[in-house]
Structure 1
Amino acid sequence: MTLVAHVRDLRVEIDGRAIVDGVSLAAHAGRITALIGPSGSGKTTTGLALLGEYPAGAVVDGEVHTPAGPVGYIPQHPASVLNPARRVGALLADIAARHGGNRRERRHRTEEALRLAQIQDPAAVLRRFPHQLSGGQQQRVVLAQALLLGARVIVADEPTTGQDVLTKQGMVAELAVVAAQGIAVVLLSHDLGVVRELADEVVVMRDGRVVDRGPASSVLDGRVPEQPSAARAPRPPGQVRLEARNLTAWHRTTRGAVEVLSDIGVPVAAGECVALVGRSGSGKTTLGRCLAGLHRAYEGTVLLGGTPLPRSLRSRSRPELAAVQYVFQDAKAAFDEHRPVLDQVARSAVRLRGAAPAHARRTALSTLGEFGLGESLARRRPGELSGGELQRAAVARALLAEPQVLICDEITSGLDPATRATILDALARLRERDELSLVFITHDLAAAAVLADRIAVLDAGRIAESGPARRLLETPQHPVTQGLLSASLTQRA
């Protein structure tokens, strides 16, 4: 085996606290090494060390050796490495140009990289801006970037986060192809099914240290991927709180408007959870953004308590802003990296409800505590928290507005089972206690089964099937629903 990169005795400290302590790791050509462990275990910090990147203010000791060529990186939240002001085609054209060739050859290489990354319609994706893509599409564009760069090592941080099970299968296949081409892959993942299928070696981390390592077959023996839960019984129908009526939405591109949602109707009752599921790019996130006032390019109506809401967030009143809150998939990008998390969570109550600052901070600490985040964590800046900790803080911040409706966009993607369970349990309690309505955008059918009363399955911008969660999960009628369930069961087998 050819050693391509390695980390030896890596120690990373922030404010005297070791977030990685004595970690060693080897990446070999053509092999996949997986780092697993709970949120905050140090996986991402170790992976980023291969790119020479560390948290601000970190004190670093140990040895990191990488190849002379580039190290590719696929982050958990791909929007963070995509320039929002440039179309995908321009971003990839710059990379393709580094390897020479005429315009036609560069275009061919770019489209081929997108196809290898499981982009079904490369030409359409090249015309769009990153925000016009789903999280799964953004992830695959970043993989295409790494392939175009000619990286000898690729660090993949939760690369299947935010992807439906069918697209996830494609990403698994592509990473296997990447490794078969002699590229070393360092995979950071909570998804034991993906790790079991891909990894040659597994390194288990906890509290910044390696606690186990070895061949995947031996390390994963006895670690069973989470199984889908039985679907919950639907709540009795109540008064409609939020509703989309005849909603048709589009993205603007250089070739005009492209329709992404067509004649959507979705009601959400008080205390009800409606899950929006479907493949990446099916329109789920765009629908959620329309409901929240984050996407104004649509026709139709969004009503709150029977009253139409303004299309744009900027046109909504303070009570309307507080009433409908949105929790983003990329929690890191939603926080100001320079301010303590506690201050930002408390600010939601001050800004949207007029709460006194002292009272807001007490409420923020209490709410963060419900999500397992104590005061010492809350007083840190976002860069000092793990992805799972930040996601919990993002939910807490939205709840400080005391919303009537909470729109959750893939908030359980890429989380370890314990963190995922903490968030789902907290949301379930809030529904029962406060009659909170939830719009739950997810690829995680097991999470939808736990939380949702009703499920709407989207496909190519239309609702393919909708109804009570139990009925859809037990007796799906539409081929799209059947395919998602079949793939989910196969992956978890």
Structure 2
Amino acid sequence: MTEVADRVLSIRDLRVVAPNGAVLVDGISLDLKRGEVLGLIGESGAGKSTIGLAAMGYGRGGCRIAGGQITLTGTELTQSGKSVREAMRGARIAYVAQSAAAAFDPSMRLDRQIIEAPVQHGVMTAPEARAWMLELFRALQLPNPESFGLRYPHQVSGGQLQRAMMAMAMAAKPDVLVLDEPTTALDVTTQIEVLALLRDTMRRYGTSALYITHDLAVVAQIADRLMVLRHGKEVETGATGEVLQAPKADYTRRLVAEREGSLRPARGSQKAGGEVLLALDRVSAGYSGLTILNDVSLSLRRGETLAVVGESGSGKSTLARLVAGLLSPAAGRVTFAGRALEGSYRKRGIADLKAIQMIYQLPDVALNPRQSVGETIARPLTFYRGLKGTALRDELRQLLALIGLPDDFADRLPGALSGGQKQRVCIARALAAQPDLLICDEVTSALDPLIAEDILNLLRKLQDELGMTYLFITHDLSVVRRLAERTVVMQKGRIVEDRPTADLFQTPQAAYTRTLLESVPELRQDWLDDIMARRAR
């Protein structure tokens, strides 16, 4: 434990319970000293985010702090009134979420949102807050710092918006940041930049942090200590190097082994010579006069997994939306099972709608918060397959079992689920239609390694048993190597490589592909320093 005078955050015997009485966090104690970063590691539902929010004196979704003490910069939050806790949030402790898009008001300029906290908390005047905002913009290497704040959230890239959210969190100069998967949704090249800037900025200003993540290689670059969690309880805590190199608990050893073994090659396709299910011939597409996809041609055979990789803005998700019928091509031709495919889903027949299903990256956006899990999965069962009554209930139970959730989850609302559980519900909803082609848009990016491996195994099993075909959009190259027979690399809306996955990893031909491959974090603490030094040469 750290010396009392040096602690900015102290938690003792924390206990948090859900509205249904389930214990989410059970007896957690931790100390955080000034300038220190503590990584919270564990699978989905381990209590990581619940602890991070509790450090702010907050329980989401009706959860309540049922026991323990939380002392932030000398103030005991559990015994303080609501007004005291609210005054601390943003001023003494701030939260950085995984999804920057969800953190900003799309109708307001960035600068107005960033200076709001320091002005409202009385930390600074508006001119002082603007000057500090510009200093943060420069520290975070945002483009054109003097005018960057005049933009709206939709006018900047994902990586830039993530850095802007960090500036917003640091605007009132808090003592502690709660970083909840702040780089998980970023592509590997952008993740490196954001991670290095975040680390250097916190070091410059002496900011402490709870870093919540499921990626051991990422947290190894920034955390001084690690706390491993499972089922709301502490598994082990120690210096980052000690936990990674000599884990004491079996569960921690499994996490480390999973990360170190994450580059196992994909099995060969058993149906590589099958019929072409999907083909794009010189397709171009975009939004509001802006071309995103430019002269793209590719084919996908039945029973095959084709991965599409590239950095933010490369056109990966636009390609997925086009195949799903959410965006019509401006030029070119799309065929499915040998016939022309209508550009808009509104013009497609029910057979095509059933045959092509999509799993989205952000389950919080994809799920209706007012519909139970059972209602969400039952809708496509009825719409596409006409199931009712006993047949509907039986199929619902089978789908829940397939994704590893108990029957009683059918009655739960999305707000009562962890991030990984929500994503599994999204997968079950897509599978309910019994599609021929499943478009997977970053489906494992929000999952911890062990659950992600379960999902990948499930996808492999479905492919082997049902002949499923996957168009897999991802920035996680370890997933690509383990799942895909072929990989397409995209840059600025064009395909720069389209090759068998094993060949691409062994002998990348394009310089951009080589940059992507070297950007995959390694499980050693000095990896980030090494790669930033190489790029600076």
TM-score of the superposed pair, with normalisation by structure 1: 0.89
Shift of 1:490: 4.7
Shift of 1:332: 2.2
Give the aligned length: 483
1:23-422 correspondence runs (5 A): 23-61=28-66, 62-66=68-72, 68=88, 69=91, 71-83=93-105, 85-86=106-107, 90-96=109-115, 98=119, 106=130, 113=136, 116-117=139-140, 127=151, 129-130=153-154, 136=159, 138-180=161-203, 181-222=205-246, 223=253, 224=256, 225-227=259-261, 228-234=263-269, 235-252=271-288, 257-296=289-328, 298-422=330-454
Partner Cα distance (1:102, 1:149) in 2? 13
1:423 aligns with 2:455: yes
Mean Cα deviation higher: 317-326 or 470-479: 317-326
| Counterpart residue number, 2:475 | 443
Partner Cα distance (1:6, 1:155) in 2? 14
Whether the 8 Å contact between 1:230 and 1:449 is mirrored in structure 2 is yes
1:5-24 correspondence runs (5 A): 5-14=9-18, 15-24=20-29
SS of alignment partner, residue 423 of structure 2: helix
Partner Cα distance (1:198, 1:489) in 2? 12
| Counterpart residue number, 2:535 | none
1:464-479 correspondence runs (5 A): 464-479=496-511
Query: Given the superposition, is the C-alpha separation of residues 378 and 251 from structure 1 closer, same or farther in structure 2, using an over 3 Å criterion?
Result: same
Instruction: Give ranges in structure 2 of 5+ residues lacking alignment.
Output: 74-87, 247-252, 528-537
Query: Given the superposition, is the C-alpha separation of residues 60 and 117 from structure 1 closer, same or farther in structure 2, using an over 3 Å criterion?
Result: same
Mean Cα deviation higher: 64-73 or 200-209: 64-73
The residue type paired with residue 226 of structure 1 is E
| Counterpart residue number, 2:488 | 456
Shift of 1:100: 5.3
Residues 250-304 of structure 1: CA deviation (Å, up to 9, x unaligned): 343xxxx333221112222211111011122222112112221233474433332
Shift of 1:12: 1.4
Query: Given the superposition, is the C-alpha separation of residues 94 and 173 from structure 1 closer, same or farther in structure 2, using an over 3 Å criterion?
Result: same
Moved over 6 A (4+): 120-126
Partner Cα distance (1:113, 1:297) in 2? 40
SS of alignment partner, residue 218 of structure 1: helix
The residue type paired with residue 158 of structure 1 is E
SS of alignment partner, residue 285 of structure 1: helix
Whether the 8 Å contact between 1:50 and 1:64 is mirrored in structure 2 is yes
Whether the 8 Å contact between 2:215 and 2:449 is mirrored in structure 1 is no
Shift of 1:357: 4.7
Mean Cα deviation higher: 314-323 or 424-433: 314-323
What is the RMSD of the two structures over their aligned residues, measured on CA atoms? 2.9
Whether the 8 Å contact between 1:136 and 1:162 is mirrored in structure 2 is no
| Counterpart residue number, 1:485 | 517
Shift of 1:109: 6.5
Whether the 8 Å contact between 1:229 and 1:450 is mirrored in structure 2 is yes
Identity score, percent: 36
Whether the 8 Å contact between 1:95 and 1:148 is mirrored in structure 2 is yes
Mean Cα deviation higher: 135-144 or 225-234: 135-144
Whether the 8 Å contact between 1:338 and 1:381 is mirrored in structure 2 is yes
Shift of 1:124: 8.7
SS of alignment partner, residue 450 of structure 2: helix
Partner Cα distance (1:258, 1:125) in 2? 23
SS of alignment partner, residue 488 of structure 1: coil
Mean Cα deviation higher: 172-181 or 471-480: 172-181
Query: Given the superposition, is the C-alpha separation of residues 374 and 392 from structure 1 closer, same or farther in structure 2, using an over 3 Å criterion?
Result: same
Mean Cα deviation higher: 6-15 or 29-38: 6-15
The residue type paired with residue 211 of structure 2 is L
Shift of 1:327: 0.9
The residue type paired with residue 160 of structure 1 is T
Query: Given the superposition, is the C-alpha separation of residues 249 and 337 from structure 1 closer, same or farther in structure 2, using an over 3 Å criterion?
Result: same
Shift of 1:101: 5.8
Mean Cα deviation higher: 331-340 or 194-203: 331-340
Residues 420-473 of structure 1: CA deviation (Å, up to 9, x unaligned): 111111111111222211111111112111211110001122111111111111
TM-score of the superposed pair, with normalisation by structure 2: 0.82
The residue type paired with residue 4 of structure 1 is V
Partner Cα distance (1:448, 1:345) in 2? 28
Query: Given the superposition, is the C-alpha separation of residues 299 and 11 from structure 1 closer, same or farther in structure 2, using an over 3 Å criterion?
Result: farther
Partner Cα distance (2:148, 2:15) in 1? 44
Whether the 8 Å contact between 2:104 and 2:113 is mirrored in structure 1 is no
Instruction: Give ranges in structure 1 of 5+ residues lacking alignment.
Output: none
SS of alignment partner, residue 430 of structure 2: helix
| Counterpart residue number, 2:78 | none
